Amino acid sequence: MKIFFLIGIIGWLAVAQAVAAATNAMMIRIGSGESTMANYHDYGYNAAILGDLTDLVSFDAIYPNAIPVGSDLRNRIESRRKTFREDCDQAHALGLKVCVMTDEASLPVPIYNLLQQPGKPSGIDYDNPKFWEVYRAKYREFLKAYPQVAYVIVRTGENYSNLRDGYIGRTVYTGHYDDAYIKHMQRFIEETRKIVVDEFGRTLIWRTWDLGADGFHANPAVYDRILQGLPDRKGLILSIKFTQTDFWRYNDFNPMIGRGGVDQIVEFECAREYEGKGAYPDYVGAIHADAMSKAAGLGARGVWIWDFSGGWGGPFLQTDQWVRLNIYATSRLAQNPDLSARALAEEWAGNEFGAPAATNVAAMLMLSPECVRKCIYIEAYARTHSAWNPGLNLMRDDIIRGEILKKLYDGSKDSLPAVFAEKEQAVALAVQMRSMFESSRSDILAARGERVYQESLTSLIYLESLTKVMEHYVTGMFSYYQWQETRDPAAAAKARLELRAWKEAWNSYQTDVPKLPGAASLYRSQNGQNADSAKGAMADLCENAMRDLAAAQTIK
């Protein structure tokens, strides 16, 4: 009897602990970017974003056959509808709520053309009553067709509809956060809410996101003005990134979270486009744990976790294990914001590499965010330019820029010893991380085999090689700029030494890293995603500086 009583008590305690943990869970846990529906379920999400609303609408209710049946655009719409229905069925079978998103205003080109007014400039006119008729028709057509949809997410701060064949769009912002902007933003929210919530009983999630530090997402004055004109907030949730602006370091926790008396969810990114997208370890567990706990304490109802997406180009991964680490930790924190980032890293490492290696690998992972920060950012500049773009996107996606480097130098030239030390420390941390991982080699081989070990080691070699490129690039070019200003021979000598080291490191990175098993695609020396933007980027900048320094030495 005592044994059964004890078992009952243990079972009750387990249930009580589970319930206690569940009370800390975010009520809404949305995931996006996954290629399989099962992943959303396995990570504990209760909703998933499955498509773009605008891509699924024919507009036949208001303009019959304006997108002709049998046309290329109509065929693409029908194909997307078929896929969307299948995805909805899978989501329902897994107990997931269906979420869609769209940018506004976005329209198919044939519909856009029908809205153009004689004698007025072309474009989407928010003061044109016909536009709002079309807008309402779009949402009604979609919501009637798909009763499975629970959440509709709308963004108005960025719009890339023109990148999709057959579509066009514009943002609400046109250069000023003035009365017209406030009026149009309020109308967009209320027109959409009336249909999504009042007519169809779904939930509207409005993204406050916009570019810069002065708008809806980051500026309390603009945020408050918009909300003051929205007295009816039934069924409305605001979605806000946890950082005040974009997902950069040196960015404050978003002061809009918990503000305004409206329900909110908070956005987190796991494959960070400003930090390699998973090409190397960049564990954001501690960063997300702190933000998740703050958001929960301020009453956030939920989270939207970007498993993948964000950015434009590469690096392109052969293995997504380091992104999976961030997804694992962030999704677990959404279920209990009080969990330890270190403990989560150890849990994940035990699953990935085997229990004997878990503690050591977790310790290595805890070093990664500091290594990445010191590699990618220049603290002396970022501390005084933290609100928007604190690193000037020196490294974003898979590019290393050059045209902004002089500005970074100008903003940090009074702290050059600290800048140079920071880059040295990034290399030292990368070397330490690799050494720690290699010390677990025998445990990982025994538990998971050669392939898992080698591919993970590749990413650490990748990171080490990249930190050396950036160390010599920044130190060499900053020393060159210093020499240009002062004509100090010591600065010139340092610049020559560092730029020669940069050339060797860059050649090694480009030549040796791609030969390694499982290596992600490489960073490129460009100022943008287009290959024709290489002029003035890192390699061009360094080569020109070396020529200049050599010429000056020859003249002497």
What does the alpha-carbon distance between residue 388 and residue 218 come to, in Å, rounded to a whole number? 10
Q: Is 281 within 8 Å of 463 (Cβ atoms)?
A: yes
pLDDT digits (tens, 9 = 90+) for 238-275: 999 999 999 999 999 999 999 999 999 999 999 999 99
Peptide bond into 110 cis (omega under 30): no
Q: Is 473 within 8 Å of 507 (Cβ atoms)?
A: no
Q: What is the CA angle 118-124-130, rounded to 5?
A: 70
Q: What is the pTM of this model?
A: 0.94
Name, in order, each residue with C-beta under 8 angstroms of 32's C-beta and a sequence gap of 6 or more: 48, 49, 304, 305, 306, 307, 308, 309
Phi, psi of 330 (to 5 degrees): -70, -40
Name, in order, each residue with C-beta under 8 angstroms of 425's C-beta and a sequence gap of 6 or more: 374
Identify the three-state secondary structure at position 347: helix
Nearest to 187 by CA among 245, 131, 111: 131
Q: Is 237 within 8 Å of 301 (Cβ atoms)?
A: yes
Q: Is 323 within 8 Å of 271 (Cβ atoms)?
A: yes
pLDDT in tens, the chain (556 residues): 333 323 333 333 333 344 334 568 999 999 999 999 999 999 999 999 999 999 999 999 999 999 999 999 999 999 999 999 999 999 999 999 999 999 999 999 999 999 999 888 899 999 999 999 999 999 999 999 999 999 999 999 999 998 899 999 999 998 999 999 999 999 999 999 999 999 999 999 999 999 999 999 999 999 999 999 999 999 999 999 999 999 999 999 999 999 999 999 999 999 999 999 999 999 999 999 999 999 999 999 999 999 998 899 999 999 999 999 999 999 999 999 999 999 999 999 999 999 999 999 999 999 999 999 999 999 999 999 988 999 999 999 999 999 999 999 999 999 999 999 999 999 999 999 999 999 999 999 999 999 999 999 999 999 999 999 999 999 999 999 999 999 999 999 999 999 999 999 999 999 999 999 999 999 999 999 999 999 999 999 999 999 999 999 887 6
pLDDT digits (tens, 9 = 90+) for 44-63: 999 999 999 999 999 999 99
What does the alpha-carbon distance between residue 147 and residue 201 come to, in Å, rounded to a whole number? 10
